[in-house]
Amino acid sequence: MKTYFITGAAGFIGSNLAKRILTEEKNIRVIGLDSVNDYYDVKIKEYRLEELKKFENFVFIKGNLADKECVENIFKEYKPEIVVNLAAQAGVRYSITNPDAYIESNLIGFYNILECCRHYPVEHLVYASSSSVYGSNKKVPYSTDDKVDNPVSLYAATKKSNELLAHSYSKLYNIPSTGLRFFTVYGPAGRPDMAYFGFTNKLIAGETIKIFNYGNCKRDFTYIDDIVEGVIRVMKKAPEKKNGEDGLPIPPYAVYNIGNSNPENLLDFVNILQEELVRAGVLPKDYDFEAHKELVPMQAGDVPVTFADTTPLERDFGFKPSTSLRDGLRKFAEWYKEFYM
């Protein structure tokens, strides 16, 4: 029996990944860790966990990634072959007001995972990085070959730190590790702090939505099923262990972008979202959108564009995300209607 250990199992990507593995793979078990904190609506996290608890071969442990003893006990007891670290304090703006949460989860928590992979060897460590590591890079699309030494938020700095730590542990201890830079993930039962979800909540409440940079932002929106497909393909093909000419290990280390490679203008995105909310019956047909839109300047920590170069992902795994924004937002709107109304 193969054991997968997924951190952030009550989170958006973690829960979808766990469900896909549990549904499609035989003779496996999934160990899920999550602190189920209240950074956003706990009801959504509980909803995701209820879906996972239907599977007999799913084991859930409520705990904090920064609790070294808790993490070590999981490795000791379950001896996972594949570790997927998706637990993190997310969000660029929240990192300005609550930096402690990012240091604890994204740095100390990730260090605990690396130490356990060192002492309890694994086949592959896959971990979430972020498109935010590209900061205010002017060159687009963003390539994993680009220099990423100028983060514009603490969140981005912690994600870049994860990549550096993983590289050093790969080199020192020959741990196969792959970092995945995710680009604006969205979909049903997603994170309420993301723009599409927050806009929907505000429109229903009759509040005004703020569109930053006067609508001149572009985001590479990536549908959750595409993200999960990418993670699964990467997870099953660890970087190869080999030695260099000096006889020492070459770090079995890789980093990939997972994005749609099709940035959407924020105003176009809002128009598609409102059309799909009306279609799903979340908003009435005569809703006055113009009265509820406000164009405002850019916020601290934000960037004007995100755009993934996914050529290496296509080359190494034969995969490119392809879900259109309209299809993805339609599924979100239908889920929202069912969950909240």
DSSP codes of every residue in 182-245: E--EE-TT--TTSHHHHHHHHHHTTPPEEEGGGG--EE--EEHHHHHHHHHHHHTSPPPPEE-T
DSSP string, 260-271: -S--EEHHHHHH
pLDDT for 202-234, tens place per residue? 999 999 999 988 888 899 999 999 999 999 999
Domain over 2-187+222-261+307-322 is classified CATH 1.10.1740.10:
no
pLDDT of the residue at 113: 98
What pLDDT is attached to residue 247?
A: 86
Closest CA to 216 of 288, 272, 265: 265
> Helix, strand, or coil here: 1?
coil
Q: Name the pLDDT band for 4 (thresholds 50, 70, 90).
A: very high
- Alpha-carbon gap, residue 59 to 44, rounded angstroms: 19
- Give tens-digit pLDDT for 63-121: 999 999 999 999 999 999 999 999 999 888 888 899 999 999 999 999 999 999 999 99
Do residues 290 and 203 lie in contact, with contact meaning Cβ atoms separated by under 8 Å?
A: no
The predicted-structure confidence for 143-180, as pLDDT tens digits, reads as follows 999 999 999 899 999 999 999 999 999 999 999 999 99
Which residues are the active-site residues?
A: 155
Q: How confident is the model at residue 287 (pLDDT cuts 50, 70, 90)?
A: very high
